[in-house]
Structure 1
Amino acid sequence: MSDLRPDTLAAFDTLRQTRQSLVAIVDALPDAARTTIPDGFNNHVLWNAGHLAATEQGLIYGLSGLPVDLPDGFVSSFRKGTSPRDWDRDWTWAEVRDLLLSLPDRTEADYRAGRFETYREYRTTPGVVLTSVDDAVLFNLYHEGIHLGAILGLRKLVG
């Protein structure tokens, strides 16, 4: 990739900042509150946080034809439509936290190195069509905001 878009590079900075905020919010919760699924909900705080890592990797790496950089079973536990009620293993906040904080740097380094040479067009659930890795990086911020809002709402119920 010869042209690094300034808006995409800025998005990585925003992603790091919002991830720091999210981690601080979840760090402040008692352990049990991170994994409590309130009545009427399908997921908990930990799932929402892990879902962010899984989605970032899927939108950016997966649709670029590159392997995701996640532990075995992570995507199947945290992808859209899943629930912790169906997990075959328990994930820890430490595992998810480490991914949330480290992935943006790795992704930006790969972007700067030009690893994202191709991209398979994808229509997101809200109907946004992604046609490039730049689109995916920018859309990912919107997605992060949705789930940060979900975590803030869940925190009021379980924290």
Structure 2
Amino acid sequence: MNHDLFEVEILRASRLRLSQLIDTVNHELLFTIPENFNNNIIWQIGHCITSQQRHMYMRSGLPMHISQEFMETFKIGTSPGSWITRPDVHEVKHALLFTVEQLREDLKSGVFVRYKPFSLPIGIHISNHLQALQAAIFHEAEHSGIIFSYLKLLQK
């Protein structure tokens, strides 16, 4: 297994866990914003998908595998308070797993050729698609921690 694909397996394992959460948690809880917070669980999940797509595909000059509307709903700086329509849980769940499988295929086929470097707010410089994938795993781990904290707060 090449290094890129190992990274995808880590991302896939994390996303399977989130997919299972979507399947087992009351859907209203997915949209409930815990007291003193700005976002909810479904925003956290959609945000992870959007960030990975933007940082890997958009910066590589490739089309993202999410709609413009999906991206606008979950990009950094948004929150459920800015939503015009409530996101579809099934669309989010589909994107959660589909984008990882598509990423695996795209890495195997070698579509990631160019990359427009950028720096993350935490001071890390990303200069290629593999670094973007590694950063996505870190980013999603942070948001997964937030998601499971939200869940504990909401299930009290």
Q: Does the TM-score normalized on the shorter chain lie above 0.5? A: yes
Q: How many Å separate the matches in 2 of 1:104 and 1:122?
A: 22
Is 2:4–2:107's contact at 8 Å kept on the other side of the alignment? no
Give 2:136's match in structure 1, choosing from 140, 154, 159.
140
The alignment's TM-score, normalised by the length of structure 2, stands at: 0.94
Please identify runs of 4+ aligned residues in structure 1 that moved more than 6 A. none
5 Å-filtered alignment, 1:6-155, equals 6-155=2-151
1:71 CA displacement: 2.2
- Structure 2 residue aligned with 1:157: 153
Q: How many Å separate the matches in 2 of 1:39 and 1:51?
A: 20
Map Cα deviations across residues 56-115 of structure 1 (whole Å, 9 max, x no partner): 100100110112111231111101111011111111211100000111110121111111
Give the percent of matched residue pairs that are identical in Structure 1 and Structure 2.
29
Q: How many Å separate the matches in 2 of 1:8 and 1:129?
A: 19
The alignment's TM-score, normalised by the length of structure 1, stands at: 0.93
Structure 2 gaps, min length 5: none
Q: Kindly provide the amino acid, as one letter, of the partner of residue 24 in structure 1.
A: Q
Structure 1 gaps, min length 5: none
Q: Kindly provide the amino acid, as one letter, of the partner of residue 6 in structure 1.
A: N
1:8 CA displacement: 1.9
Paired residues, number: 155
After TM superposition, the structure 1 stretch with the greater mean CA deviation from structure 2, 16-25 or 43-52, is 16-25
Q: How many Å separate the matches in 1 of 2:145 and 2:28?
A: 20
Q: How many Å separate the matches in 2 of 1:73 and 1:32?
A: 22
